[in-house]
Each structure stands twice: as C-alpha cells, then as structure tokens.
C-alpha cells in the first residue's frame, strides 16, 4: 500500500478541526469544487460497492425556492408549537407544515440518547444567549436550518430504500469524506436532518427515483466569523462507545 503523505498526528488534528458550520458567507462555491468534494466522498468504502445513494445539488433559484417553501412550512409549524389555539387549529385542519417524510425523527429520543441531545442543545443555545424556556427564540434559531444557514449550496442526500441501514451507513461514510474534503479546501459544512421532514419539496425540483428516500441535507459554503461557528460540540471519549465484556 502507498505510504500516506500525512502523519498520524496531522490526520488526528485535521479531522478533529472539522466542526459543523452554521453561518456562511454568500461567496459562491465554484461548481468544480462541489464536483471535487463529491468525487472525494466517493473514495469511501461501500456495501458491495453499490453506492446506494444519490445527491441533489441545489444552488441559486432552485435552492432559494426550496428554502422559501421550507421557511413557510416552518413558520406554520412553529406558530402552532409556540402560538395560541388558532395556529394549532389551522395546522390540524390544513396539515400545511406537518412532516411529509421521515416522521420517526420527530419522535422524542430514547432515554439513553436524551442526555446527549439535550446537552448539545443546551450548549449551543447557551452560546447564542437563548434561554432554556424561550421557545420563540429557539424556533427562530432553528429556522436558520431552512435558510441553510446562508450557504450558497445545499446538498440533499438520498438513500436506496432496499438497503435500509446499510444504505444509510454508506451515505454516512460518503458524507464524512465529502465534509473532510470540503474542510481541507476552506469550506464549511453542516449535515441537516432538519430538512428531512419535507422530502416532497425537493422532489418537486429534482427527478429523484421513487426507490430512493431523503436522508438529510448538507449545507456547503465558506464559513463566516459569526459566533455560532465557534461552537464546539462535546466529543465523547472512545471509552463511551465501547461495549463492556460480559462478566
């Protein structure tokens, strides 16, 4: 095997320095650069080399139309969450804003995962000065997801339904190589499960085969110097991930 050009220390420090970017400059990203990070994503291993995923690249008016529809739906959903009876009744009657795909991600986390999810939320909102019970400010902050945090490019990743979790795993491996490639080129990225609840909006713009379903989005662009980009989510030690031996 060819010897790696980087040292183990350089690899560890490079991979650790990738952080999710949640505020982007409007600076456009060259199409060749997007193609290159996708190409780098394709160096990941894959289940029987099937590559059971697809990517829709949204830029310019297509991205803006998707974002506008997402924001309208989020507004309807958020109004029902934080507002009075009328928006709740409107949502129940029109169903406009309710998830149309991936309903499972709207369910509460299982007890073993709740503390981790709560911690990242608490830490991130804490950095942004958003108080715990301030649902309006939290929802306004979440709305940034539907603006793709200002990114000029949004990727939508779809997985082949027939391979279930194995397709999800392949897409995840692809995404990580893509995100590290982007990082090496000065680009920021943020994976976005938030967009997975309205797959129909993306299908209106892209010809996605019915055997694929939406996994998540990835915002791509040049990071701004907004405070949110200084956020450092906790990283668990390897010991937290290893299963103990049976006694």
Ligand X SMILES: Cc1cc2nc3c(=O)[nH]c(=O)nc-3n(C[C@H](O)[C@H](O)[C@H](O)COP(=O)(O)O)c2cc1C
Neighbouring C-beta atoms of residue 243, cutoff 10 Å: 5
**Contact of 176 with 243, CB cutoff 8 Å:** no
Task: Compute the Cα dihedral for 87, 93, 95, 96 and give only its sign.
Answer: negative
Q: Could you say whether residue 171 binds ligand X (CB under 6 A)?
A: no
Question: Judged by CB under 6 A, does residue 116 bind ligand X?
Answer: no
Nearer to ligand X by Cβ, of 14 and 89: the residue is 14
Of 34 and 194, the one with the shorter C-beta distance to ligand X is 194
Contact between 67 and ligand X per CB under 6 A: no
- Cβ burial 101-116 (10 Å sphere, 16+ → b, else e): bbeeeeeeeeeeeeee
Regarding 126 and contact with ligand X (CB under 6 A), the answer is: no
Total residues interacting with ligand X, rule: CB under 6 A: 12
CB of 120 to ligand X, least distance (A): 5
Q: How far is the CB of 218 from ligand X (least distance, A)?
A: 9
Where b means 16+ CB within 10 Å and e means fewer, 54-80 reads bbbbbbeebbeebbebbeebbbbbbbb
Which of 89, 120, 127, 136 is in the footprint of ligand X by CB under 6 A? Answer: 120
Query: What does the alpha-carbon distance between residue 204 and residue 198 come to, in Å, rounded to a whole number?
Result: 11
Q: How far is the CB of 141 from ligand X (least distance, A)?
A: 9
Q: Is 190 in the site for ligand X (CB under 6 A)?
A: yes
Selected binder of ligand X within 29, 56, 191, 197 (CB under 6 A):
191
Q: Is 233 in the site for ligand X (CB under 6 A)?
A: yes
In this chain, which stretch among 1-9, 35-43, 70-78, 185-193 interacts with ligand X, using CB under 6 A?
185-193
Q: Which is nearer to ligand X, 89 or 233 (CB)?
A: 233
Residue 84 Cβ, how far from ligand X at the closest point, in Å? 27
Helix (H, G, I), strand (E, B) or coil at 128: coil
Q: How far apart are the first and last CA of the chain?
A: 40
Q: What DSSP string describes 161-192?
A: GGGHHHHHHHHHHHHHHHHHHHHHTT-EEEEE
Question: How far, in Å, are 33, 51, 82, 107, 167 from residue 174 at the CA level?
Answer: 16, 9, 37, 26, 10
34, 187, 216, 220: residue in contact with ligand X (rule CB under 6 A): 216
By beta-carbon proximity to ligand X, the closer residue of 46 and 192 is 192
Using CB under 6 A, list all residues that contact ligand X. 19-20, 22, 120, 145, 190-194, 216, 233
């Amino acid at each position: 095997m060819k010897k790696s050009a980087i040292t183990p220390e350089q690899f560890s420090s490079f991979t650790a320095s990738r952080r999710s970017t949640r505020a982007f400059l409007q600076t456009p990203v060259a199409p060749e650069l997007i193609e290159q990070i996708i190409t780098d994503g394709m160096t990941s291993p894959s289940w029987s080399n099937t590559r059971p995923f697809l990517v829709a690249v949204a830029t310019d008016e297509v991205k803006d139309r998707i974002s506008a529809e997402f924001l309208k739906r989020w507004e309807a959903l958020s109004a029902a969450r934080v507002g009075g009876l009328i928006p709740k009744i409107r949502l129940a009657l029109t169903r406009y804003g309710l998830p149309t795909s991936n309903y499972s991600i709207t369910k509460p986390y299982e007890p073993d995962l709740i503390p981790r999810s709560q911690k990242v939320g608490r830490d991130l909102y804490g950095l942004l000065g958003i108080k715990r019970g301030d649902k309006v400010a939290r929802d306004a902050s979440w709305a940034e997801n539907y603006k793709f945090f200002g990114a000029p490019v949004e990727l939508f990743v779809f997985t082949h339904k027939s391979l279930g979790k194995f397709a999800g795993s392949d897409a995840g491996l692809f995404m990580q190589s893509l995100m590290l490639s982007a990082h090496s080129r000065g680009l920021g990225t943020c994976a976005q499960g938030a967009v997975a609840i309205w797959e129909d909006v993306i299908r209106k713009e892209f010809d996605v085969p019915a055997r694929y379903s939406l996994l998540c989005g990835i915002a791509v662009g040049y990071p701004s110097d907004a405070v949110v980009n200084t956020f450092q989510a906790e990283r668990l030690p390897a010991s937290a991930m290893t299963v103990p031996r049976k006694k």
